[in-house]
Chains A and B, each alone.
Chain A
Amino acid sequence: MNRRPAEERLLDFGEVATGLSEDSAVLEALRCMGCPKPLCVDGCPVSIDIPGFIKAIAEEDFRTAARIVKAENMLPAICGRVCPQEAQCQGTCILGKKGKPVRIGDLERFVADWERENGVEAPETAPATGKHVAVVGSGPAGITAASECLRAGHEVTIFESLHAAGGVLTYGIPAFRMPKDIVKFEIGQVLGLGAELKLNHIVGRSVAVDELLAYDAVFIGTGAGLPYFMGIPGENYSGVYSANEFLTRVNLMHAEKFPEFDTPIIRGSRVAVVGGGNVAMDAARVARRLGAKVYLIYRRREDDLPAREEEVENAVQEGVEFVCCANPTKILGGPEVQGIECNRMDMCELDESGRPIPRPCTGEGSIFTLDVDVVIEAIGQGPNPLLAGLIPDLKRGRRGNIEVDEDGRTSIPHVFAGGDIATGAATVIWAMGSAKKAAASINKMLAEN
């Protein structure tokens, strides 16, 4: 994917990746061998007919290409941007064995962007069934479940606790990776199928549990929004943020435009981001755009970073300094942050995931401090506890996630769940994949009743 130069993109929140032109999309599409047993489709959590849509692009029939993609995925412009294709469809592409795989993600994005600019065709929906489905949460999982249930002819009401739809697409992923007009547009397409969206409604509070359970079917997609903290001294000083808070202040509340927008943020002159996932990269890159020198502290080696390679590259290009094999032990200062104390880590034997277990070094030089005035913790999120905890018969796992079978069924017969609330924190596309399965179960159940 082509990217805007780092020095230019640091000045704004505009999109970094620039997308394919029609000509280059067709050329790229022509590389696809159209395997009779396409492995790429196996690698896609929502089972898009990948060779089918790529063939249509090669034939310059972009309308058909869009139709094929949207048969399985109503959020293609979003997925084309944030799916980890290298670990999914492109990871299994046969061309990748000897050379470069087909740039399936870029092609998906191209098709979606082309359709958005050239007029969108609404998918067909089945005749109204008179059944009513409640969807809790309007993130990737909720929107996907809603679109599947709407297409099956059911009435759908989506409840969202925030003032804007989109979940993590809106509050979590920054605009330079996921432009907000695109999120609005694609969610608008789903709402356009006839969903009722109720913003500012907290299910379990605004909508009581018995009101929720009165729907013919319920899909819970409340996500993994509960930020974990490290539990080290100094964590509650002013200037220590969870990545969720830092990103929400900017992405949802536009704190980067303070005082034009009312929500403030501490910009920091030197910022430490703790963690190595995509969220950590997002936080680090936002902090760079707010003008800070940024350190990213990660306890393993750079090679072990769980973030997408592309995001790590972007962060490096944008001047984020990686401090690897280090783990924070204390935040210094009070009441404001003045620094962060870290312990260097030894890489020991490999764990089940094949990564080395980091253990704190001892002895001289193993403790060092960084002079920072903001600390952002991006060490993971747990399932949102609020609703799941208020439904007495709903079986939950050890971490508080809702237990589901492989078809998205919970311990309550007409209640289904998908996305991070069921699987634990994962990717947008995995949330969509599990929501799609749950929605298929809902549609099957409602058809039988």
Chain B
Amino acid sequence: MKRNQIADNIFEYWINAPHVAKNGRAGQFVVIRIDEHGERIPLTISAIRGDDVRIVFMAVGKTTHQLAALEEGESIQDIAGPLGTPSEVKNWGRCAVIGGGVGIACLPILARELREAGNKVTGIIGARNEGLLLLEDELRDACDELVVCTDDGSKGHHGFPADILKEMVAAEALDAVWIIGPAIMMKITSFATLDTDIRTFVSLNPIMVDGTGMCGSCRVTIGGETKFACVDGPEFDAHQVDWDELMNRQRTYTGQEKESLERYHEHTCRCGEKK
């Protein structure tokens, strides 16, 4: 495993996983488990190079903090994948790929596949501030054009990717859009294409366990029907998603997640003292 910190608290890991790299496509994800006590967490495939798969994550909970603490060359216990249905890549014409926060990391592989399929691809990336922006150079290369936004105006457009999307929609310059980021960002950004013919995909990130369609933890309501994000998705039509339900379900274990993280910090502090 090779690691880099690429933004504030955000890391990219290249994991040697030939079984994932071989057939992995844009839109798919892996499930990883750090060690025997670990939980299984899903992470979207950000890029593939030879036998290596890149994942990008922000250290927020116990598992991602523990992952961030690994050193170059260390391994994780398990990586399963590729999982989920690949993105609907075809010649749409003009596409926008929009990333918010860590969601930006999902765009390079998608932008490349879309361009290979003959699309003109505009990348729009947004973060709270300049320090949280990631993969900008890589995306400039992967997309035909790239627009950078920050909430605080510290770099690029002062505002949200949704602003740029609205302009493009008004200019009738789009056929398909992917929006990937936190649920609330995906929900709000997707309003821009409501009542248009622009196909709008979002990549949902509910809580998962196995990631293979076996437990139903990741069930989401799409157009009034229950779907399993892990096998039926994770990409769905943005305008059919029951966002409130998704966000409620994402909060199911907030208490336990906090407890777990506090315990982890306490433990790592104590270990530090001993040294």
Which residues of A does B touch, CB under 8 Å? 161-163, 171, 198-202, 205-208, 225-227, 229, 231, 235-239, 241-242, 244-245, 248-249, 253-254, 258-264, 266, 334-335, 384-386
Q: Is B62 an interface residue (CB 8 A)?
A: yes
Contact with A along B214-249 (1 / 0, CB 8 A): 111101010000100001000000000000010011
Q: Looking at the complex, which of B126-134, B144-152, B168-176, B205-213 is the stretch in contact with chain A?
A: B205-213
Which residues of B does A touch, CB under 8 Å? 19-20, 22-23, 28, 33, 37-40, 62-63, 77-83, 209-210, 212-217, 219, 221, 226, 231, 245, 248-249, 251-253, 256-257, 259-260, 263
- Distance (Å) between the CB of A267 and the closest chain B CB? 10
- Distance (Å) between the CB of A352 and the closest chain B CB? 29
Inside 8 A of A161's CB, which chain B residues have their CB? 80, 210, 212
B260 near A259 with CB under 8 A, answer yes
Complex Cα distance, B20 from A63, in Å, reads: 45
Complex Cα distance, B251 from A199, in Å, reads: 30
A259 near B259 with CB under 8 A, answer yes
- From the candidates A202, A205, A236, name the one contacting B221 in the complex (CB within 8 A): A236
* A248-B209, A258-B260 known; A206 vs B20 contact (CB < 8 Å): yes
Complex Cα distance, B20 from A261, in Å, reads: 26
**Residue of A at shortest CB range from B217?**
A245
Interface centre among B23, B216, B256 (most CB of A within 10 A): B216
Inside 8 A of A248's CB, which chain B residues have their CB? 209-210, 214-215
Interface centre among A207, A229, A258 (most CB of B within 10 A): A258
- From the candidates A201, A242, A264, name the one contacting B216 in the complex (CB within 8 A): A242
**Residue of A at shortest CB range from B41?**
A262
B80 near A163 with CB under 8 A, answer yes
B256 near A264 with CB under 8 A, answer yes
- Distance (Å) between the CB of A134 and the closest chain B CB? 14
A238 near B22 with CB under 8 A, answer no
**Residue of A at shortest CB range from B206?**
A236
Complex Cα distance, B159 from A244, in Å, reads: 44
Chain A to chain B contacts (Cβ below 8 Å), 9 pairs: A199-B80, A202-B80, A206-B20, A227-B215, A238-B248, A242-B215, A244-B215, A258-B256, A385-B231
- Count of CB-CB pairs between chains A and B under 8 Å: 127
* A200-B19, A206-B23, A259-B259 known; A264 vs B253 contact (CB < 8 Å): yes
A266 near B260 with CB under 8 A, answer no
**Residue of B at shortest CB range from A267?**
B256
- From the candidates B83, B216, B231, B252, name the one contacting A244 in the complex (CB within 8 A): B216
**Residue of A at shortest CB range from B38?**
A262
Inside 8 A of A236's CB, which chain B residues have their CB? 219, 221, 226, 245, 249
- From the candidates A200, A237, A384, name the one contacting B80 in the complex (CB within 8 A): A200
- From the candidates B37, B214, B217, name the one contacting A384 in the complex (CB within 8 A): B214
Given contacts A200-B78, A262-B38, 15 further A-B contacts (CB under 8 A): A163-B80, A199-B78, A202-B81, A206-B82, A225-B212, A226-B213, A229-B226, A235-B226, A237-B248, A238-B251, A242-B215, A245-B215, A258-B256, A259-B256, A263-B209
Q: Is the interface of B mostly helix, strand, loop or mixed?
A: mixed
B79 near A200 with CB under 8 A, answer yes
- Distance (Å) between the CB of A377 and the closest chain B CB? 9
- From the candidates A207, A254, A261, A384, name the one contacting B213 in the complex (CB within 8 A): A384
* A200-B19, A202-B212, A236-B221 known; A261 vs B248 contact (CB < 8 Å): no
Interface centre among B83, B209, B259 (most CB of A within 10 A): B209
Interface centre among B78, B83, B252 (most CB of A within 10 A): B252
B77 near A163 with CB under 8 A, answer yes
**Residue of B at shortest CB range from A163?**
B78
Complex Cα distance, B216 from A262, in Å, reads: 19
- Distance (Å) between the CB of A380 and the closest chain B CB? 13
Complex Cα distance, B52 from A399, in Å, reads: 38
B209 near A245 with CB under 8 A, answer yes
Complex Cα distance, B226 from A242, in Å, reads: 13
A227 near B20 with CB under 8 A, answer no
- Distance (Å) between the CB of A160 and the closest chain B CB? 9
Complex Cα distance, B216 from A258, in Å, reads: 21
- Give 3 closest A-B pairs by Cβ, nearest first: A264-B256, A245-B215, A335-B248
A226 near B19 with CB under 8 A, answer no
B252 near A201 with CB under 8 A, answer no
* A200-B80, A236-B219, A253-B40 known; A266 vs B213 contact (CB < 8 Å): no
B213 near A335 with CB under 8 A, answer no
**Residue of A at shortest CB range from B66?**
A262
- Distance (Å) between the CB of A381 and the closest chain B CB? 9
Inside 8 A of A227's CB, which chain B residues have their CB? 214-216
Complex Cα distance, B256 from A238, in Å, reads: 14
**Residue of A at shortest CB range from B250?**
A238
Complex Cα distance, B259 from A236, in Å, reads: 24
Inside 8 A of A205's CB, which chain B residues have their CB? 23, 28, 81-83
B39 near A253 with CB under 8 A, answer yes
Inside 8 A of A171's CB, which chain B residues have their CB? 210, 214
Inside 8 A of A262's CB, which chain B residues have their CB? 37-39, 62-63, 260
- Distance (Å) between the CB of A448 and the closest chain B CB? 33
Inside 8 A of B81's CB, which chain A residues have their CB? 200, 202, 205-206
Complex Cα distance, B33 from A163, in Å, reads: 9
Interface centre among B28, B79, B251, B260 (most CB of A within 10 A): B260
Complex Cα distance, B23 from A205, in Å, reads: 7
A202 near B83 with CB under 8 A, answer yes
Inside 8 A of A200's CB, which chain B residues have their CB? 19, 78-81
Interface centre among B77, B79, B215, B257 (most CB of A within 10 A): B215
Inside 8 A of A244's CB, which chain B residues have their CB? 214-216
- Distance (Å) between the CB of A420 and the closest chain B CB? 12
A239 near B245 with CB under 8 A, answer no
